[in-house]
Copies of this chain bind each other. A is one copy, B any other.
Amino acid sequence: MSDQAELTRTSAQSKARLRLWLRLLGVTRKIESELRDKLRREHDTTLPRFDVMAALNRHRDGLRMSELSGVLKVSNGNVTGIVDRLADEGLVERVPVPGDRRAMMARLTELGQTVFAGQAAAHEAWIDALFSEMGADEAQAFAARLKELAEALETRGDKP
């Protein structure tokens, strides 16, 4: 290939990747904003609150604040405010960490588990409807490719 042709090919590839990124970002933001609206209107909650409850639902024995921040990749301060609020509403309780009496973990209460189960079922149904034009096979193939991309990103992450 001539230098010029190589340059054109490289630039077309770079533009295609940029367009893909802008599409990914656009679709994700659009869906996030729909989910935000629905959570607010139909469950009187927010996406950060839903994310905190989802993380605690996956870790039924509870999580320290630092673990919760790590799982959610947001700052400790934000998470603490959300957990305080959920505790006021009886959805989350603070329990001592086994073997470390000065440390506390957050854990879903029974009420919290019930409330979250309702929100999670609604969330899954919304996603199902939003992706309705994509069959199971395509969704699976798409997700698998995104997983490979995520893994490549992780590997790259070592060398900034």
| Interface, chain A (partner B; CB < 8 A) | 9, 12-21, 23-34, 73, 124-125, 127-136, 139-140, 142-143, 145-150, 152-153, 156-157
Q: Is the CB of A150 within 8 A of B23?
A: yes
Given A73-B33, A149-B27, A150-B23, residue A156 in contact with residue B136 (CB < 8 A): no
Which has the most chain B C-beta neighbours within 10 Å: A124, A133, A142? Answer: A142
Q: Is the CB of B24 within 8 A of A24?
A: yes
Q: Which residues of B contact A17 (CB under 8 A)?
A: 127-128, 131, 134, 136, 139
The CA of A27 and the CA of B18, in the complex, are separated in Å by 15
Q: Is the CB of A130 within 8 A of B156?
A: yes
Q: Is the CB of B146 within 8 A of A133?
A: no
Q: Is the CB of B73 within 8 A of A13?
A: no
Q: Which residues of B contact A28 (CB under 8 A)?
A: 24-25, 28
Q: Which residue of B lies closest to A12 (CB)?
A: B136
B23, B124, B148: the one contacting A146 at CB < 8 Å is B23
Q: Which residues of B contact A150 (CB under 8 A)?
A: 23, 26-27, 30
Q: Which residues of B contact A129 (CB under 8 A)?
A: 156
Q: How far apart are A110's CB and chain B's nearest CB, in angstroms?
A: 25
Q: Is the CB of B146 within 8 A of A134?
A: no
Q: Is the CB of B146 within 8 A of A27?
A: yes
The CA of A147 and the CA of B142, in the complex, are separated in Å by 14
